Amino acid sequence: MVTILYFAWLREHTGCAREEVMINDDIQTVADIVSYLKKQSDGHAKALGDMETVRVAVNRSYGSVETKITAGDEIAFFPPVTGG
């Protein structure tokens, strides 16, 4: 099982801030979990439809769609952070 966290507009689209997802051997990377999540609802598909506009952290470290995941990981999706 992995914990998925959504922030800002991703939370609004998915309708949840946090969810637990059972993973199997087919889900090994962030890209794999994104593909799985997009099939869960239209909101998930909208939130995760363009990963160029979404940032990801795995266990509180910045990652990418190629980042490997395993059971027990925390995966956070959030919009790009800007300053100024």
The boundaries of the domain holding residue 35 are 2-62
pLDDT digit string, tens, across residues 14-35: 999 999 999 999 999 999 999 9
77 within some domain = no
- Count of the separate structural domains present in the chain: 1
- The pLDDT of residue 84 is 62
52 within some domain = yes
DSSP state of 61: E
pLDDT digit string, tens, across residues 55-77: 999 999 999 999 999 999 999 99
70 within some domain = no
Confidence of residue 81 (pLDDT cuts 50, 70, 90): confident
Give CA–CA dist 79/8, Å, rounded.
7
45 within some domain = yes
- The pLDDT of residue 51 is 94
Give CA–CA dist 7/16, Å, rounded.
9
36 within some domain = yes
Q: What is the mean pLDDT of the chain?
A: 96
32 within some domain = yes
